[in-house]
Every structure is written in structure tokens, then in C-alpha cells.
Amino acid sequence: MRTPLKFAVGSVLLLLQTSAVGQPAAAPPSGAKANAVRDPIAELVGRLDLEKYKATIKSLTQFGDRRQGTARNRAAIDWIEAQLKSYGCATERLKYEYLEPGRTRSEPKVEVASEANASEPARTLGGGRGRYLRNPTYLNGDPNKQPDLKLRALNTPPAVPGPREEVYCTKIGTTHPEEMYIVSAHMDGHGWGEAANDNGSGTALVMELARILNSPDVVTERTIRFALWNNEETGHQGSRAYVAQRAALQGRESPAGSGKYPEPKWLGMIQHDMMLFDHGGPRPDGSISKEQRPEADINIEFQSAAKFAGAANTLAWAIEAANEKYASDYPAVIGNHMTNTDSVDFQDAVASVSLRENERGTQIGSGWDPHWHQPTDVYATFSDKDFRLGLNAAQTTLGAVSQLAGARRK
């Protein structure tokens, strides 16, 4: 006997099947019957490849830390856009201005930590309280801590206030082009490393999903937008600018009668921010294991204080169910303290979640990742097990968004 579980997210019903406890698993079908019942989403998830994921992260590191307001950041955006176009994904850029930490021309000044500040920014409301041994965390602002002289030179030019851009691309839905899921990550970093984990790992994940879902033989019922935010490290001004400029455009057909929707109605937002490192908490002496912990998992977080907390909770569980079905190695766990990433700018407008390596407030904020904002956040720091954790997050999101948006092969 099989029992359907239904998760409602916006106007979409996600249907999942679970076997009754204690019942023996049915023998897998073979031959023609196997072809008839083959899961098309599993086939899409099977197109993810560890080496391709690693190669995309490695390519992003050629631009150093990709710090906002620098030539290396702009070069990285150009490279990302070229890759997205090569996948057949129609790209656009959003423009805004960043004048100083926490302020754009159209906004009042808000005090946040600057990029040069060596202290950890104050936690956003709802970050959870620490329950573990704690290591101090800080943003490295000392170039001399980067022993690689070539990388140090690449990262030396400072950020300059002024115009900013970020790129996104869109897969248009065939049945409901007026409804959309946003799959995103921030592409900027800092700390005098390569920003391989924070956030090359999330950027590469989103790019890999864009590659697969924009394949010529794949269609989706609903629209999916793949967004790579800028300025996350200074207070997520890039995602904030997107919400400010585009929220009011949702669902408007333009031009009238064209069947085109420049900003489809948001059904859900899924952010990816630091995907690789789950080695456990600090030991009593402050050290961190060099090996991935046996209990490594993918963290899915929503914000219980948000206006759309209920819908975000439902979305989180839909993603967790996709992890159960499609992720090859690592489980997912759900928390309700999403904070300090681009999804918080969407949380009062639509169901919003973030996927990451650890809980943001209580674990990363307690020093679980010693490479966070440090010169050691370079590609060579991470092992294949670390990269595989990120790949499993990609499997999880690809499985979930394919179900939610109605992806299938032609």
C-alpha cells in the first residue's frame, strides 16, 4: 500500500509517494515496463556530474575573491553570463548603485559592518542562539595572510562605490509562463581567498541547474529564474535592489496580449550560500576536524518570523522530500532561523528558503567553518567529499524545483 503526501506551495501541489512502514519493497520493473515507469526527474538529476560541478567552481576562482565594486567582480559577471548564454538560457542584467556600506541612493542609511571591518557583523533577527563550543569568527582584512602572492595581487584592487550589475537568466514555462520559481546564489566574496565555498559553491550549483533545465530536450510548465546576486557580502544590496525594482511587476503581461511576463508571479525563492564544509563544531581546544563529519547533511532553513513563514515551511519540507528521493549520499535537515543571506529580502513577499552546509546562525556563526571569509577559502582546501556535499545539494534542489515547476523531457 502506498500513501500520497501532498505539499501545497503557492498554486502548485507536489505529490510524493512513501512506502508503508514494514512493507517489503517491490521488485524494480524491467524491460518495457521499466521504461514506462521511469522517473523523468531522476533522469534530469542524473545529468549532474561531480567533475562538472568542481570545474565550474574552479573556473570561478580565476577571478579571485570576486569582491563587489572591482574589475575582477565585473569580469566574473561577464564570464557567468557567457556560460548561461551557452546553455541556451536567456540572460538579463539588473542595475543598481552602491554608494557605501548599507546605503543606496534611494535608501536611508543603515549601519552594517564594512568589508574592511575585521569583526563579524551582528546577526540578523531570528538567527538562533548558540548551543555549542564557539570559535571567534571574523572577516580577514589583512592581505599579508594570503601566502599566494599571485592571488594576493589579484585581490588587491579595492572596491569602488558606484554602479553595480548582476546577471540572471530565465527558463520560460510552457503552460504557466506567468508563474515563477527563483533559484539563486550570490557570486561575490571577500576575505583575500578565492571565495571557492563562499560562494563559488552556490554559484556553480545554480549554474549547473541552469545548464540542465535549459537543455533543448527539457521543458517546464512554470518559469524558473536563475539569479546570481551581487553585493551579498556588504548586506545583500543586490537581492534587495531586485525586490525593490521588480516586485511590483509580478504577473503583468507586457505588452498586453503578448503572453510575455517580464516578471512572473513569484511562487518560491530558493537561495544557496556555502555548500561544501560540514566538518563539525570546534573541539575544546578550538580545532576543527580535517575530515568531513560522519553526520554531514544539507541544511534547509526558513525564517519563522517572516510573513510567509507557513508557506516557506511547506516549501522547505517539499525540498526535504526531494532530498529523500533524489540525493545520492547526504540527508537534509530543516531549521527555522534563516538569516544573513539574500533570501531574507524575499521572505516577506514569497515563500523563501536557503540551502547551505550548516545552520547559519548557530553553527557557521559559532565557527564551524574556519575558512569563512578567510584566505584559506580556496579550491585546494576542499576534498571530493566536500564537493560531493555540494553536489547533493544540487541534486536536492534540482529534484524539488523540477517537481514544483513541472519539468520533463520533450
Domains of the chain, residue spans:
53-110+140-280+289-409
Residues 323-351 have a mean pLDDT of 98
What DSSP letter does each residue of 368-407 carry, written as one string? Answer: S-TTTTSTT-SGGG--HHHHHHHHHHHHHHHHHHHHHHTE
Average pLDDT over the chain reads 88
Q: Which of 169, 164, 176, 269 is nearest to 213 (CA)?
A: 169
Which DSSP helix (H) or strand (E) runs through 213? Answer: helix 202-213
Question: What gap in Å lies between CA 72 and CA 101, rounded to an integer?
Answer: 19
pLDDT tier at 164, thresholds 50, 70, 90: very high
Q: Note the pLDDT of residue 136.
A: 87
pTM confidence score: 0.88
Q: Note the pLDDT of residue 128.
A: 81
Question: What gap in Å lies between CA 117 and CA 177, rounded to an integer?
Answer: 44
pLDDT tier at 213, thresholds 50, 70, 90: very high
Cα dihedral 118, 119, 123, 129 sign:
positive
Q: How many C-beta atoms lie closer than 10 Å to residue 100's C-beta? A: 10
What is the 8-class DSSP label of residue 159? P
Give the pairing of strands 176-186 and 222-229: parallel
pLDDT tier at 101, thresholds 50, 70, 90: low
CATH number of 53-110+140-280+289-409: 3.40.630.10
Asked, as a colleague might, if the bond just before 155 is cis with ω within 30 of 0, I would say: no
CA distances from 124 to 140, 223, 366 (A): 20, 31, 14
Question: What gap in Å lies between CA 223 and CA 182, rounded to an integer?
Answer: 9
